[in-house]
Structure 1
Amino acid sequence: MLRSLARAARRAPRRIRTAFGEVRDEERGDIPGWVLVTLMTAAIVVAIWLLAEPALRGLFEDAMNRVTGL
Structure 2
Amino acid sequence: MRTIHAPRLLLLLGTSLLVRFEQTVRSGDRERGDVPGWVMITLMSATLVALILGLAKPALTDLFNSAIARVSTP
Match of residue 53, structure 2, among 46, 49, 53 = 49
In structure 1, the gaps of 5 or more residues are: 1-24
Q: What's the counterpart of residue 66 of structure 1?
A: 70
Calculate percent identity across the aligned residue pairs. 53
Structure of higher RCO (CA pairs closer than 8 Å, 6+ residues apart): 1
Match of 1:37 in 2: 41
Q: Which has the larger radius of gyration?
A: 1
Q: How many residues align?
A: 46
After the TM superposition, list the runs of 4 or more consecutive aligned residues in structure 1 that deviate by more than 2 angstroms.
none
- How far off its partner does 1:28 sit? 4.5
RMSD: 1.9
Q: What is the distance in 2 between the residues matched to 1:31 and 1:37?
A: 10
Structure 2 gap segments, 5+ residues each: 1-29
